[in-house]
Amino acid sequence: MRKLLMTLFALSVLQVSLFAGTFDLGLTLGTAAHWGEPLYDSSKLKMAWGVTVGISDDWELDVQANSALVPHLLGDTSVAVLLQKSMLGQRSTGTQVAGLGVNTLLGAGILVSDYFPGDYLLPTHILFSLTPLVVGNPISAKRERAFNVTLAYNFHTAQVSVLFDLVKYDFYLVGTYRDYL
């Protein structure tokens, strides 16, 4: 429970500092799976939840917590911070004109977890992420991301693992068509 509270606190501090000067801001909800480190992560199914912040027309910052669903509800939580770039065109124009409706994201970042011989949260992984299918954009107020594959290198244990998100939904609060009505 202490880890979950620390994770929530870290996410809220990071969110508040990122609100100013953003193109758009959305909430993320989806699934997550982590393969390759059974010693440190016994859960195969996780809930992904977090925030996506548009920092330019083709760059975004994702802060995502992955919380275990099985075998212990919210028993294990890690936090991924990814900087991602839209590869096929603008994700948002910052105006009422929508960006590209179908896109691909390529990104890099870090994972903060307790996947090492210790029981506290530290940056543990370097992440390289590919989301081949992104449908929707911030102007339409929702977006679906499918088949995200992330290679994760744990620099504490020198292990490589795979993070997989089958589907994630982004629900935008700022930077949508509602801002231009």
Average pLDDT by stretches of 10, the chain with 181 residues: 61 54 84 80 82 89 88 81 93 77 95 78 92 92 95 90 93 84 75
Burial of 21 (C-beta count, 10 Å sphere; 0-12/13-18/19+): exposed
Burial of 181 (C-beta count, 10 Å sphere; 0-12/13-18/19+): exposed
Domains and CATH numbers, the chain: 2-180 (2.40.160.20)
Q: Is 18 helix (H, G, I), strand (E, B) or coil?
A: helix
C-alpha dist (Å) from residue 159 to 40, 110, 125, 145: 11, 15, 9, 27
Element (H, E) at 3: helix 2-18
CA-closest candidate to residue 31, choices 180, 162, 163: 163
What's the confidence (pLDDT) of residue 16? 52
What's the confidence (pLDDT) of residue 46? 86
What's the confidence (pLDDT) of residue 1? 55
Contact 79, 59 (CB under 8 A): no
Per-residue burial over 110-127, b = 16 or more CB atoms within 10 Å of its CB, e = otherwise: bbbbbbbeeeebeebbeb
